[in-house]
Chain A
Amino acid sequence: MPPLEVWQKVLVKKKFLEEDVHAEVGCIACHGGQPDTDDKDAAHEGMVKKVGANPAETCGDCHVDYAEAAQTNIHRLQTGYIDQLHKRGGDFTDPQFVTAYTNHCTSCHADCSDCHVSRPTALGGGLLSGHKFKKTASIWLTCGGCHSARIADDYKGNHEGVPGDIHWEKEGMLCSECHTDDAAYHNGSHGTRYDDDTAPTCTQCHEDVQPGDGVEQHDQKHLDNLACQTCHAAGEYKSCYGCHTGIDDKGLKFFTTEPSQMTFKIGHNPIKSEKHPWEWVLLRHAPTNKDLFAYYGENLLPDFDNLPTWKFTTPHNVRRITPQNETCNSCHGQSDLFLTEEDVLSDEREANGLVIVSPEDIPGPVEEGGQ
């Protein structure tokens, strides 16, 4: 996203002042500060820059239900991070672990204003449209600002050789058309986004997908055993590796990651549930590793192997016809499409035992037109 100059970040448009109901309360009522001076430093004394950080006391004065939902919201509380780190043995009562988490993970926190008023703080902030409140967050500057390489770039078709998502190309659908008001970005949920009951499913719209719907591979066996994206993701998507964290000799926090790779891997489903019942799903490597927090202490993730590093994923590059569904044998017998042991780093094989596909499990070639 194009960067903003410092002055642009705080320029308030007159249109906001004249037309937006939020302007009627004045600046001080929400931001505090000193009204009786035009000296920059004096005026900003006691000012609250990020009003949306405390929705119960600010936005919640009017938007009561959203402020209540924010108390358990995944974007604010990062319940996904907490859930995954906890399952890997992270101890949120251990000061070393908490310091590591606070230094390196919490910058991805987003509150009300990070979506509806400004660009996310994690990306440098700055008013979106002269302080105008956007009822629907900006798809590329806010949603896509944070969820960029692994969602927005897929969706727009920015990865070389992989087409964009048909929902964008053909229908111009915004994030909020599937991830509706009820979903995790407003309501609370425990665990990751996939644990959220209100998260979208393909069949919410494509309710006519069923055996006998006229699509050759939509037989009971395929529909029961394969997540939609396994057949309908249009190509490779980004996997990330080797995140390490630390503090440099100037006291600045930093992290390093290894080069990302474009991957397409089918594996066993690590989160089988009523909502995700399939055996075969797409997997993406997350940047986590055993030494993620090694700077802060030894063995801070003692149960690292409890979760795979190749994780259930739902790439946003969906199309009807894809390289792996053109014919039966575009998938059957194509061992490169499947996550096998040799695709997994040796020290991560135990963690990925559930999802790795053994050679004998890879569906063999079939006679075209058969099952």
Chain B
Amino acid sequence: MKRHLLLALALTTVLLLAVLFIRPPAWATPGQSAKRFQPHAIAPSAAHAPASSARPITLQADAPSSENCIACHTDKKKLKKLAKEPEEVKSEAASGEG
């Protein structure tokens, strides 16, 4: 009986820790309030080292969701429908290589 109680307590602790510390990447988190560009939203600390020169980063819990951006920018059909050719800005007077 005591052994069962200890096992249940251990499982509960593991689950609690998992809920607290494991979370999806920032781009997959649900939408939050609109936020202006914050270039320093990523605080330097210890997690990933993508290149030899790279300072490791830690994601902040309040990083705004990128769900809408990704939904559109990974959808070829939608992009083809929405993308507009920019106005021709090349002068007719231009000539030659360069």
Contact = CB atoms under 8 A, between A and B. Distances in A.
Interface string A1-30: 000011100111110010001111111111
B30 to A, nearest CB: 10
Interface in B56-98: 56-57, 59, 63-74, 76, 79-80, 82-86, 89-98
A57 B59 contact: no
A51 to B, nearest CB: 9
Interface residues of B, number: 55
A252 B92 CA distance: 9
Nearest to B50: A21
Name the interface size band of chain A.
Answer: 35 or more
A32 interface: yes
A228 to B, nearest CB: 28
Contacts of B59: 24-25
Most chain B CB neighbours (cut-off 10 Å) among A25, A135, A256 = A25
A66 B96 CA distance: 36
B4 interface: no
Interface of B is mostly: loop
A133 B63 CA distance: 21
A4 to B, nearest CB: 11
Contacts of A11: 73-74, 76, 79
B2 interface: no
Contacts of B26: 24-26, 29
Given A40-B82, A253-B91, A256-B96, A29 B74 contact: no
A62 B68 contact: no
A47 B66 CA distance: 13
Contacts of A250: 91
B35 interface: yes
Interface in A29-66: 29-38, 40, 43, 46-48, 54, 57-58, 61-66
A7 B79 contact: yes
Contacts of B76: 7, 11
B88 to A, nearest CB: 9
A67 B70 CA distance: 27
B48 interface: yes
Interface of B: 25-27, 31-42, 44, 48, 50-51, 53-57, 59, 63-74, 76, 79-80, 82-86, 89-98
5 contacts: A6-B86, A22-B50, A32-B36, A61-B44, A62-B54
Interface of A: 5-7, 10-14, 17, 21-38, 40, 43, 46-48, 54, 57-58, 61-66, 133, 135, 149, 240, 242-243, 246-248, 250, 252-260, 287
Closest 6 CB pairs of A and B: A32-B37, A257-B96, A254-B91, A252-B91, A7-B79, A254-B94
